[in-house]
Amino acid sequence: MENLNGLLLVNKPQNMTSFDVVAIMRKKLHVKKIGHSGTLDPMAEGALLLLIGKATKILPYLENTDKEYIATFELGKQTDTEDIWGNVIEEKEVREIDDLSSLCHSFIGKQKQLPPMVSSIKVNGKKLYEYARDKIEVERPLRDIEIYDIEVLDKNKIRVSCSSGTYIRSLIRDMALQSGNIGCMSSLIRTRIGNFTLDDCYQLDEVDVDTVQLHSIYEALNYLPMIEIENERDVMNGKKLRLDTKEDRVLMVKDKEALAIYQRHHQNIFSCERGLW
């Protein structure tokens, strides 16, 4: 069914890579063009956003989507992967955290984060986890992230709302260190991607090509300012358009169908940045 176009959210289980999920959905939905908007580690679970058909064109516009996670952690143990599934490299007596809420609150805001060695960030053209696999230490670039909110759910369980690119295992590492401890992540569930939550997710065995309901490209890009076009042929032909807007990037729509993303070329003249037909 190659005319299947849109976004599908699935609840990725543990012990499965994001690529495994893509492969399963490719077979279930009988489509070739399918990708995802952000990897979840094999031991993590939760919301995975899949882009199907024409929706693969909007991947660059979803990469900075905010996320929310529920994570648990274990103090007194540090591993080479910063989670409980790695090799233990240090153990230390646990110091009780008197006020976890205050500790969490101190991490809210914009900050620099040192990513884990097992991440897919590239240094000199090679992914960090490849260096880690070869037991080679390299200098890791600090990344700009933002923590919007952290809520304490239990003595070792938190909900984190954050910018894309945030590593929760590294956040837990830093929180443990600030409390005078060492620590690592013990579980991770992604509960939200942008406006999509776990409630929007299918279980893998629920997905059926005849009944699956996809979210539209229009819905996924509703954070962009929209301009309703009368003559969609001009957009479909990629013509430059004169638009009366202060925005530099807009979504051209017709009857709630996303047609193209336009960007300011000069003055009030806009050109097609990405066609979505």
pTM summary value: 0.90
Q: Over the chain, what is the mean pLDDT?
A: 94
Query: Do 62 and 72 form a contact (C-beta atoms < 8 A)?
Result: no
The H or E element containing residue 249 is: strand 249-254
pLDDT tens figures, 136-172:
888 889 999 999 999 999 999 999 999 999 999 999 9
User: What 3-state DSSP class applies to 252?
Assistant: strand
pLDDT of 134 strictly over 90: no
pLDDT of 207 strictly over 70: yes
DSSP 259-277: EEEEEEEETTEEEEEEE--
pLDDT of 178 strictly over 50: yes
Count of positions (residues) in the chain:
277
User: Which pLDDT does position 2 carry in this prediction?
Assistant: 54
* CATH numbers and ranges of domains, the chain: 6-62+211-216 (no CATH), 67-193 (3.30.2350.10), 224-275 (2.30.130)
Which residues, in sequence order, are bridge partners of residue 172?
none
Confidence of residue 61 (pLDDT cuts 50, 70, 90): very high
User: What 3-state DSSP class applies to 136?
Assistant: coil
pLDDT of 3 strictly over 80: no
* Higher-scoring residue by pLDDT: 277, 173: 173
User: Which pLDDT does position 88 carry in this prediction?
Assistant: 97
Please confirm, yes or no, whether 134 is among the known catalytic residues. Answer: no
Q: How far apart are CA 165 and CA 173, in angstroms?
A: 16
Q: Is the dihedral of CA 58, 63, 66, 69 positive or negative?
A: positive
DSSP classification of residue 215: B
Mean pLDDT for 77-82 is 95
User: Which pLDDT does position 64 carry in this prediction?
Assistant: 81
CA angle, 208 as apex, 204 and 214 as ends, to 5°?
85
pLDDT of 1 strictly over 80: no
User: Which pLDDT does position 118 carry in this prediction?
Assistant: 84
* CB-based burial label for 58 (10 Å; 0-12, 13-18, 19+): buried
**Which entry of 20, 41, 98, 210 is annotated as an active-site residue?**
41
Confidence of residue 246 (pLDDT cuts 50, 70, 90): very high
* Higher-scoring residue by pLDDT: 3, 9: 9
Mean pLDDT for 49-67 is 92
User: Which pLDDT does position 148 carry in this prediction?
Assistant: 98
